[in-house]
Amino acid sequence: MGDPTTTPALDVPVLQVSGATVRFGRETALDSVDFRMFAGEVHSLMGENGAGKSTLIKALTGALPLDAGEIRLDGQPVRIPSPLEAQRHGIRTVYQEIDLLPNLSVAENIALGREPRRYGGIDWPAMRRLASEVLAELGLTIDPASQLGTHSLAVQQLVAIARAISTDVRVLVLDEPTSSLDADEVAELFRVIRELKDRGVAVLFISHFLDQVYEICDRITVLRGGVLVGEYRTTELLRIDLVQKMLGREITEQRVRRPSDPEPGTRVVLGARQLRRWPRVHDADIEVREAEVVGLAGLLGSGRTELARTLAGVDQPDGGVIVLDGTPTTIAGPRRGIGLGVVYSSENRRTEGIIAELTVRENIVLALQAQRGILRLMPRARQTELAASWIEALGIRPESPETIAGTLSGGNQQKVLLARLLALAPRALLLDEPTRGIDVGAKVEVQNLVGELAANGMSVVFISAELEEVLRVSTRIVVLRDGLVVATLPADELSSGSLLAMVTQPDDGD
């Protein structure tokens, strides 16, 4: 790891972090990361899910304590124990979920806590003037007396920035500021960012849109798995190299292993035509046949998760049809999906999957019991028998059905989740990042398991951020970019290099 920095530091960074380490229990979310920001520069932090981006931002803005490491402002060591303290140091954050007050006026949202006063009371006219001035700086001509909640999210975002820059701001952190903006609004935001840059503000711009990062950023720091990959000048880093650094592994042309498959069937089990779900699924066509694994390949934000969720009926489509066994079907929610034999396993294993307080047995029988209904309670002996058979079939360790699920390793938790879904005897299984955050051995086991399931006739949709893994597991691959299906190809015809080129923007270097 750790490519050498491409340019020597000309001056002292405004903000410098060295050896930043954050642990959550036994897991290390951020491992001794170095990061720095210069005045008048726009810096981007890049990485896939779980790379440690948000952990690092939280540590910088006082929302999370560092377990080890040092933060320096203008070369002076500082402690940032709270968001308030970060603000005092001139570090302001505009979060993706705007943390303003929609019930108050625009002017108040900008000035709250620092309102101008007269005769012991709030001077409303002065406050509106102050707000108008800041808004004018951002080129925003809205009525400062209007209620914030009456404006679009884009305007609210700009008001949040207005609040940040109405004080003495040194470092401005913009966390996914463009995710709810349209193209014109993004252009407007970039104009504002450039202005701030000229004023000497150090801007940290987080986005998973490569185009935007390349348009606005001067410097890119790449994280992967909580570890620093390197810091680069944007002009000196090709997109394809950036993506490769984010996804990891040297891209080699090695032959990928595939499940020892009988020929996939020709019957389409689950499919969709012109499937739409705002904002990340645009007119997607997809077919999943009997006994095949369809891999969804794409970067974070490409719509891979959203497509799977919509296909499984977890989220409802805005348009298009889902076709099950050749019949257009509405899957009104996950419960209905289970009834139809379409099950989805979330990428958020901890929050949307495993129930850590329950035992392995309870976790496994959960969905099956829910499907049977509360009145047809499965006998305890039957539950134990069922759990034991899945524990054996999937090799869950420890083998006791009465182990508390939260104490299991990530890989074993994933297997428990799989067991829960497989106990439903589904026809189509949608797995979203089933191998994320589990160790290499367990990864291979899960991959092999997916192959076996398909070989036994199941239709599987497989999502992974690791392209190599998608290649290894899938029969066919659907390539997604910015919410669009750009290609559907047999995995045999793809190499990791060509797949990487397809998931990255084609117009590299503009």
Partner 1 sequence: MSAATSTRIPEGIGTRVRRFTSRRASWIPVFAALGILLALLLAGQAYFGNFLTPRVLSSLLLDNAYLLILAVGMTFVILTAGIDLSVGAVLAFTAIMGARMLSEGVPVVVVIPVMLIGGALIGLLIGVLIQFFDVQPFIASLAGMFAARGLAFLVSLSSIKVEDPAILWLQTKLFNIDGWYLSPTGVIALLVVAAGALVLQFTRFGRTIYAIGGNEQSARLMGLPVVRTKLLAYIICGTCAGLAGVVFTAYQGAGYPLNGIGTELDTIAAVVIGGTLLTGGSGFVLGSMIGVFVYGTIKTAISFLGAEQSWTRITIGALLLVFVVVQRVIVSRSSRR
Comparison of 155 and 202: residue with beta carbon closer to partner 1: 155
Rounded CA separation 437/433 (Å)? 9
Q: Which is nearer to partner 1, 103 or 488 (CB)?
A: 103
Q: How far is the CB of 480 from partner 1 (least distance, A)?
A: 27
- Give me 335's structure tokens: 């419960």
Can residue 81 be called a binding residue for partner 1 (CB under 8 A)?
A: no
d(CA 321, CA 317): 8
**Which residue in 44, 87, 166, 474 binds partner 1 (CB under 8 A)?**
87
Cβ-proximal residues to 175 (8 Å cutoff; 6+ apart), any chain: 54, 57, 93, 94, 95, 96, 206
Cα 308 to Cα 276, 283, 450: the distances in Å are 12, 14, 16
The helix or strand, by DSSP H or E, that contains position 322, with its residue range, turns out to be strand 319-324
Stretch that binds partner 1, among 114-122, 286-294, 396-404, 495-503 (CB under 8 A): 114-122
CB of 124 to partner 1, least distance (A): 8
Binding mask 165-184 for partner 1 (x = CB under 8 A): -----------------x-x
Residue in 115, 211, 215, 218 binding partner 1, rule: CB under 8 A: 115
Q: Is 99 in the site for partner 1 (CB under 8 A)?
A: yes
In the set 103, 252, 316, 371, which binds partner 1 (CB under 8 A)? 103
Question: How far is 240 from 14, CA to CA, in rounded Å?
Answer: 30
How many CB atoms are closer than 10 A to CB 74? 13
Kindly state whether residue 83 participates in binding partner 1, applying the rule CB under 8 A. Answer: yes
215 binds partner 1 (CB under 8 A): no
Tokens (6 digits) for 85: 């303290």
User: Least distance (Å) from partner 1 to the CB of residue 120?
Assistant: 8
For β-strands 15-24 and 68-73, DSSP reports them as antiparallel
Q: 152-158: long-range contacts at Cβ-Cβ below 8 A with a sequence spacing of 24 or more? A: 153/98, 153/180, 153/181, 154/180, 154/181, 154/182, 154/185, 154/188, 156/98, 156/100, 156/102, 157/94, 157/98, 157/181, 157/189, 158/188, 158/189, 158/192
- Binding-site member from 53, 89, 151, 436 for partner 1 (CB under 8 A): 151
**Interface with partner 1, residue 136, by CB under 8 A:** no
**In angstroms, how far is CA 175 from the centroid of its own chain?**
12
- 59 binds partner 1 per the rule CB under 8 A: no
Q: Is 187 in the site for partner 1 (CB under 8 A)?
A: yes
Q: Which is nearer to partner 1, 158 or 293 (CB)?
A: 158
Least distance to partner 1, CB of residue 159, Å:
11
Could you give the 3-state DSSP secondary structure of residue 73? strand
Name which position in 42, 94, 100, 311 contacts partner 1 (CB under 8 A).
100
Least CB distance from residue 325 to partner 1, whole Å? 36
Backbone phi and psi for residue 214, each to the nearest 5 degrees, phi listed first = -70, -25
- In the sheet with 327-329, reading across from the earlier edge strand, the strands are 281-289, 268-277, 319-324, 327-329
Which residue from 121, 373, 441, 506 is in contact with partner 1, where contact means CB under 8 A? Answer: 121
Interface residue with partner 1 among 139, 265, 339, 398 (CB under 8 A) is 139
Using CB under 8 A, which of 152, 254, 316, 400 touches partner 1? 152
* Residue 261 binding partner 1, by CB under 8 A: no
Encoded tokens for 92: 């302001």
Residues that bind partner 1 (CB under 8 A): 83-84, 87, 99-105, 108, 112-113, 115, 117, 120-122, 139-143, 145-147, 149-155, 158, 182, 184-185, 187-188
